[in-house]
Chains A and B, each alone.
Chain A
Amino acid sequence: MAVVTSSPGKTKQKNASLPYVYLLPAFLVMGVITFYPLIYQVIISFTNFESKHLLLGLRSPELEFIGLKNYIDIFTAALPVENFNFFRVLEFNFWWALSNVFLHVPTGVLIATLLNTEGLWLKRIYRAAYILPVVVPPLVVATVWTNIFDERYGAMNQLLTNISATFFGGIDPIYIRWFEDVNPPIPGFLPGAPLTLAYYAMMIANFWLGWPFMSVVATGALQSIPKDLYEAASIDGATGSQQFWGITVPLLRPAMIPAAVYGFTLSFNLFNFVFFMTGGGPARSTELLVTFAYNLVRNLRWYGVAAAFAVVIFAVALVVFLITNRITQATQNYQES
């Protein structure tokens, strides 16, 4: 009591600097390991930084400032890299994230609904088992699925062979070259970015990985819907479909939209998974922005171009964030109204 009342002016003054003291450690560290590198990144994105400049960095006498050349090269596909077209990669990247979310969310909701049936036997066991894909690291999931889609020994081709032998009397073993075939099985499905078999293989694997998370979110939301709502609705004579679209769907929306946004961002930058399964191939048809950026640094070692590419990725990420943020906020308003 005494402290607060005796010298209010002094306390206030002390409080004014206090938040900055609390912020100091984080900003000191981030200044050195985040902000400085970010600025450094922008600077070298205007240079021809390569391996030979590694020792002296910006002090290298041969380091040249080449203006916007790196950026222009990226956008006009002028980089001496086979099969690279920025806009095709960008289009594929968006399509990849979108198609995943559109598969995972409805499936997750449907399966959660199925498991929410009252009186269903073994419900707990199913719920526990269905979460398993989420707990396996993507690194392991990708390596496992790569083997499943192996041309000669993979489980998928063996399964298809078994099915064809049992149901269609097929004799020859099926050897589908999931990761090598560059011809899109459905030509013209996505104009400008042909979807190869590798894309479908990745979709199958990521479907396995993705829906259980959505199902967990949906289960939580389903259980929080009060049962009296349905009782009241049925007393008022609402039909089954009216109840589903009038109660279940709107009440699931506030939980599912942020989950879908999270899923979109996750799929958009799904480095581990894509890198391990296809490495962006064949012919860069499954390359994401992040995997190509990695390629630029690790294998090609064009640090200047890589820096420019990272700046471009940052711009794309900012746009994605602004869009998804708007979607999330729109649902919040929906929830309140």
Chain B
Amino acid sequence: MLQSGEWAYTEKLKEHFMAPKNILQGDSTDDFDGVGMEGNLQCGDQMLVAIKVDKEKEVITDCKWKTYGCASAIASTSILSEMVKGMTLDRAFNVSPKDVAKELGGLPDHKIHCSVLGDKALRAAINNFFVRNGREDRVRKEQAKIVCQCMNVSDHDIEEAVIEGARTYYELQERTKIGTVCGQCREETEVLLEKFKHIHFGA
């Protein structure tokens, strides 16, 4: 008989959950150069990222955060804050949920969605830094492309549905109602489905 069960998470994740690093203390972000927040409480996840930036080199010198969420959400933000210190803004902007999950030694499939907010909040913080410094031209918006015109479903919606567990076209339809009217977008949808499955789950 086994004496104990494994955690659902990796040791690395457990480590960051038990002793999260770089938590923003107090309620003020006044000392920071850029602040971003993503997610909402109703969905059970919300993350705030605050960065200090070396304006000459455009390098992140400090990164603090707050997270409302489960163990993987907490650990994801903690490890993200470690990863991006010393990174240029350009590189930090391209950190993906997959990078975060990899750094944590992997996440259970149903927990991937918990780690996607950290990098989004980070990008929001970087954009916020540009806005504050009068560099609106550097702000990069993540634009969604509508794939299904009938039901108004975007590529972001598809990505989200895949992250939340949709693996087949039909599961995707169940979640998003995509292609349930005219059905013309099916081919494009299936290409995107495979792409996001590959990006997030290597499948």
Does A associate with B in a complex? no
